[in-house]
Amino acid sequence: MALELHGIGASRGISIGKSYLLVQDKPKVSKYTLAPPLLDQEVQRYQTALAAAKNQLHSILEKIPESISTDITAFIHMRLLMLEDKAFTTAPIQIIQTEHCNAEWALKLQGDILTNAFNEMEDAYLRDRKSDINHIINRILHILINPDNYGYDYLTRQLKDCIVLANDLTLSEVILMQQQEIAGFVTEHGGHNSHLSILARSLGIPAIVGLQGAQDYIQDNELIIIDGEQGILLAGAQDLLIQKSQERKIACQKRLIALNKLRNQRAITLEGTTINLQANIELPEELPLVTQAGAEGIGLYRTEFLYINRTSLPDEEEQLEAYTRVIHALNGSPVTIRTIDLGADKTVDEHAISAPISTSSLGLRAIRLCLREPSIFRPQLRAILRASAYGPVQLLLPMVCTLQEVKQTIALLRECKQELKRQGLKYDPNLPIGAMIEIPSAAICADIFAEHLDFLSIGTNDLIQYTLAIDRIDNEVNYLYTPLHPAVLQLIYRTISAGKKRNINVSMCGEMAGDMHYTRLLLALGLRTFSMHPSSLLEVKQIIAKSNQQELSKVTQQILNCHEYSEIQMLLEHLNKDLIAQSLIS
């Protein structure tokens, strides 16, 4: 009889392979006292281990395929920056010298200090950084304890076609495993929208997260089957079940081949409504993915990754070069450039900026930071204005909360236009300006913002999290994180309606836009422009081609009248029943 375990589907796909149980023991650290003459030698031993940890991360960066989303490389760069911080370069050494202790114990004490500090932080992204801190500390400890073999131990075993089971995985580990062509992975922690899940989807690796106790039930080298969409792990399957799973796997592969045929087709509903499908990117290096998906433009170009992992801020010319590279590659398709959303987990070197960037997602960040520090904001606005002379560009403001922020930005843009005009530099005088609707107050006041802006863009990731007061990466409460909460749908509909009333475009650029389970729901709510990761675009296009917009619009009010998640879920299943029957979605 087959054993069936349920977790959270993180990345679609079916994999059949032998299990590999990754044991992630935390290094055991003991304290021993050193005589004063030996302290300098111990400091040197620690510095050598620290350098080895940096070299290892640099080696991982070299192995990352160019097709991988650049936010993944940014996360690894962030860990490198952490290793440059005084918390690792100076504090452990001071502990060695004052406590007369070994390097391992000094690092443990420093780790305890950092962990306690992070535990007291309310921000979800920063608690995720605590995990990064722990992984860094463990890596250095492994190097100190065993300097002759400080690599990733599991790489000594061939993992090709294996399914890795672990308590948790770092982004670095998954990238290295992908190099070994693993068939999939299962972790006991994590949520659908965690960094790990996003990476798995970007790499196309079937994955399940949040499957607690998996390693207690599965033996090493046991044949297992995972369904990364439904979050199901099967063990002890009989030949017939294995055969059926293999058939489903082949069917999925054929479906992906069929989807590629849609690349050059417009997204048009059955009755002829044209839907605009655009892509989200971080850096110009992602442009090949956009072209492969047949996107009709860039709906979200995140620019903060031009600012991190460096000791100085990018100047106007450097930004202009990056923006124009994207514009030229799009051959006349629109590019929506979001101004920098620094703060929270997107930090810059302390030497690059004097402003006190907040480590809280609710603090001084995004548009608040930019308006407070015009010396940062003005060069970007000038670069975006100048880039608009090379093709259709829109300017998008993140985390807008008040109309005053919009008016201040427009006034600053007016000054920049006057400067450029005096300097004889070209720009689009009618550059469209829009705002991200990702704060509940902004959605409630969407009609007010629509009076003063040229377009709106709904950022569902933060909108859902802030509306429901849910930390989406907290295993204890992330089951409550859902786009189907009546309040969330009301805010989305309110924003779309505000755009229609003022005859301005409203797009959606959060994860919800790229989830084909919600495509028809969003069409029913009136959404006409979707922006998503390029890997999701063709699947959403297929759903649109099989949908009747006029019929969907008839259930709009029925959706908005639902009071509970369960009601909306049932209605959603009814909307998707033919797609479920065709196995296009589950």
**Alpha helix positions (H), 37-169:** 39-63, 70-84, 86-89, 91-99, 103-119, 124-145
123 carries a ligand binding annotation? no
Distances (CA, A) of 12 to 256, 467, 579: 11, 28, 16
461 carries a ligand binding annotation? yes
Number of Cβ within 10 Å of residue 321's Cβ equals 13
338 carries a ligand binding annotation? yes
C-beta of residue 298 within 8 angstroms of C-beta of residue 290: yes
Q: How far apart are CA 145 and CA 105, in angstroms?
A: 11
Record the tokens describing residue 435, joined without a space.
């705002």
C-beta of residue 323 within 8 angstroms of C-beta of residue 383: yes
Active site residue 509: yes
Q: How far apart are CA 451 and CA 333, in angstroms?
A: 26
The phi and psi torsions of 225 (rounded to 5 degrees) equal -130, 135
β-bridge mates for residue 435, sequence order: 397, 456
Q: Which of 195, 485, 517, 533 is catalytic?
A: 195
462 carries a ligand binding annotation? yes
| CB contact burial 235-269 (16+ within 10 A = b; e otherwise) | bebeeeeeeebeebbeebeeeeeeeeebeeeebeb
Residue length of the chain? 586
Q: How far apart are CA 386 and CA 427, in angstroms?
A: 5
157 carries a ligand binding annotation? no
Q: How far apart are CA 218 and CA 196, in angstroms?
A: 22
Task: Give the H/E segment covering residue 569.
Answer: helix 565-575
438 carries a ligand binding annotation? yes
Q: How far apart are CA 116 and CA 585, in angstroms?
A: 43
Q: How far apart are CA 342 and CA 369, in angstroms?
A: 8
Q: Which of 135, 445, 509, 517 is catalytic?
A: 509
Q: How far apart are CA 50 and CA 143, in angstroms?
A: 8
Q: How far apart are CA 52 and CA 46, in angstroms?
A: 10
Nearest CA among 247, 243, 237, 251 for reference residue 18: 237
Number of Cβ within 10 Å of residue 434's Cβ equals 25
Active site residue 401: no
Binding positions for phosphoenolpyruvate are 302, 338, 461-462, 472
Question: Among all residues, which ones are annotated catalytic?
Answer: 195, 509
Binding positions are 302, 338, 438, 461-462, 472
Binding positions for Mg(2+) are 438, 462
